[in-house]
Amino acid sequence: MLGSRELVIETGKLAKLVSGSVTVRYGDTMLLVTAQGSTRPSTLDFLPLTVEFEERHYSVGRIPGSFQRREGRPGEKAILGARITDRQIRPLFPKGFRQETQVIITVISADQENLPDVLGAVGASAALSISDVPWAGPTACVRVGQIDGQFVINPTTTEIQNSTIDLVVAGTKEAVMMVEAGAHSVDEELLVSAIEFAHKEMQPLIALIEQMKAEVGKEKFEWNPPVDALAEVYPAFKEAAIAAGLKNVLLTEGKKARGKALDELQSQLISARVPDLTAEGAAEQVALLQTAFGKAQKEELRRMIIEDDLRVDGRNGRQVRPIWIEATPLPRAHGSAIFTRGETQVLGTTTLGTGRDEILIDDLGTETGDKFLLHYNFPPYSTGEVKRMGGQSRREIGHGNLAKRAIRAILPEFDDFPYVIRVVGDVLESNGSSSMATVCAGCLSLMDAGVPIKAPVAGVAMGLVMEGEKYRVLTDILGSEDALGDMDFKVCGTAEGVTALQMDIKISGITPAVMREALAQAKEGRLHILGKMAEAMPATRPELSKYSPRILTTKINPDKIGVIIGPGGKNVRELEAMGAQVTIEEDGTIRIFSADAAAAEAVLKRVQAQTYEGKVGDEFDGTVVKIAAFGAFINLFPGQDGMLHISQISEQRIEKVEDVLAVGDKIRVKIAGVDDRGKLDLIRPELEGKIKPRAPRRG
């Protein structure tokens, strides 16, 4: 049992030709997970691991809605599910392992209640454990919610709606390795407690996978680690690099200037050892020494951080880089802000849209709308590089999702602020923590747009360098510190608490004590950043941009919706031709959107007129539109007439209506009665009490 339900892992039945294959079932959600590694090493200098997350529409009994009626590229949720698995398993492959390895997760049954993302990670751990691929697992992955003050393992999709946190934790028997969370501004200590709870609850799952490995696991195939060609030359080369001033070069101010200085030092050191670049074997020697220089850089950087509490830009471990902010840099955007922290810069923009801008998400048969969009863009120029530009990368989707979770927690309820909101974070410069800068820039752009957020939110990326028993937590890490460090821990939140976090570990895991220290230091950094944001923008703009659409809301009887739509949508098209967009909800809520306030007001009056349900006592200045023998028809407003009976026109008896009224006359009238068909009987208000009221009509 895992939580309140049984989790079943089976093998030996499906996909038997692959190295490792399991099915994972939880409720009626079922996944097939396979793991396969190549026994031939690749020529790449990194681990070529791929994780694919495939969603099959037959899992919910549906045919795909695409033109070809087959599944297309993975959606955002599938990509995020693949990232959860990748981040859990990647650190546990042997150092130097270069064989191509592939994990494929296929959702073959989905009950819409038990989420498949954490189950895919569990299946990957089991498949790799029983396969012949060298891997130091097992791991396990669970989701934690908090409902009515109690932690819940693997809450259902319904339960998550009532949870204060949505936390995904992966770990080994000994330690936590990966954390992903969204929260409603919760205390750091609560998150640590939830993570500890998750780690404890996953232990039976780890034990089950260990049992599977012992009983049915294959023998791991042999592989040869890369020959350590550096062993002979590295010690002397590193000593020469230190003597040549490597530390001072690393402290060169500015990313580009530092890179140039390092290139010059590397060339100097290599030229002293390979004077003739055209000689036989010179290219191989140069490549070897370049690797040695990179290793020396990493070791010296880590030493400086651990021993000297000194980083390449001169900061100590707790300092945040200088911050520069500009509000409203774009004249026509609804809201915009530039947030710069060191050499990381993001342009944040907010656009307010109508209900028609809501994105429709088809998540394996469950169609839901999302009224908040956040898009993160990372162009190659942000790092001074030239690269092919295509669609969003998995990294961009992952970073954007983290920023979205951080900001969603501070947005107003849709009923209070009925706009679809799109935030875009365009990374203009990047030297670490661009996703966290997106949170800050995005929040500032919302405030600039006049969105009544609950509280400002900021994000900061934390790092860790650990050597034996010694370690140092780093605030606001640089790109180089992310690469050389042992942890990337991104924490977002308000002054009151955390709204999102993401942690990845490159070592075997970290203890709760280190996690508490990192969260406390992150809060210190976050409060500093929030202070700088408050200096630039103390509060949300009191009014929307003049370019933002205005929204007017009214509520009508749902039975009158057909009147507004009209035959074939004729009436609603006429309303929109007046200069506004109109959205109609099933409960009778009508929202009118327009950048022209006067046009919105005109459409609102027309809607109210068309759906008016007469109330006895209401008075109008009407116009006579038709005369009959028994009375006059008075137009009260477009689409609504009432009948003024001949007996209610004058205090004296009249023989003919035409003796008193003519078509086109303006007359003040009052509703005296409404029959069961909605027909209105009118009276002249000045005659009330002076003439006998007419008996109400019957339908």
As averages over each run of 10 residues, the pLDDT of the chain (699 residues) reads: 92 97 97 95 88 94 85 89 95 92 97 95 98 96 96 95 95 92 94 95 97 97 84 90 94 92 94 87 89 93 95 95 97 97 97 76 61 94 90 90 97 91 97 95 98 97 92 94 90 96 83 89 97 97 89 86 86 88 88 84 85 80 90 82 86 84 89 79 81 61
Predicted local confidence at residue 277, as pLDDT = 83
Predicted local confidence at residue 699, as pLDDT = 47
pTM for this model (two decimals): 0.85
Return d(Cα 395, Cα 373) in angstroms, integer: 17
CA distances from residue 137 to 10, 174, 266, 403 in whole angstroms, order as listed: 18, 11, 39, 30
Return d(Cα 150, Cα 443) in angstroms, integer: 31
Number of Cβ within 10 Å of residue 402's Cβ equals 26
Residues 318-363 pLDDT 10s: 999 999 999 999 999 999 999 999 999 999 999 998 777 776 665 5
Q: Where does 449-500 have alpha helices with state H?
A: 479-484
Sheet holding 335-341, edge to edge: 323-327, 335-341, 344-353, 420-429, 372-377
CA dihedral 70, 75, 80, 84 (to 10 degrees): 0
Please list, in sequence order, all residues whose beta carbon lies within 8 angstroms of the beta carbon of residue 334, skipping any fewer than 6 positions away: 349, 350, 351, 352, 449, 544, 545, 547, 548
Angle among Cα 441, 447, 453 to the nearest 5 degrees reads 110
Return d(Cα 382, Cα 12) in angstroms, integer: 49
Predicted local confidence at residue 601, as pLDDT = 87
Closest C-alpha among 478, 475, 482, 485 to residue 510: 485
- Sequential DSSP letters for 151-203: EEES--HHHHTT-SEEEEEEE-SS-EEEEEEEEEEE-HHHHHHHHHHHHHHTH
CA distances from residue 438 to 36, 48, 167, 374 in whole angstroms, order as listed: 37, 29, 21, 10
Residue holding tokens 């109210």?
608
Contact 52, 102 (CB under 8 A): yes
Please list, in sequence order, all residues whose beta carbon lies within 8 angstroms of the beta carbon of residue 142, skipping any fewer than 6 positions away: 2, 118, 153, 154, 168, 169, 198, 201, 202, 205
Angle among Cα 115, 119, 123 to the nearest 5 degrees reads 160
Predicted local confidence at residue 367, as pLDDT = 54
Closest C-alpha among 223, 241, 447 to residue 335: 447
Number of Cβ within 10 Å of residue 366's Cβ equals 11
488 is in an annotated binding site: yes
Number of Cβ within 10 Å of residue 6's Cβ equals 10
- 74-91: b or e for each residue (b if 16 or more CB lie within 10 Å)? bbebbbbbbbbbbbbbbb
Return d(Cα 536, Cα 534) in angstroms, integer: 5
Return the H-helix or E-strand segment holding 522: helix 512-536
Closest C-alpha among 156, 160, 168, 159 to residue 202: 168
Q: Would residue 526 be called left, alpha or beta, if left means φ above 0 and alpha means ψ between -120 and 50 degrees?
A: alpha
Number of Cβ within 10 Å of residue 665's Cβ equals 14
3-state secondary structure 315-367: CCCCCCCCEEEEECCCCCCCEEEEEEECCEEEEEEEEEECHHHCEEEEECCEE
Predicted local confidence at residue 505, as pLDDT = 84
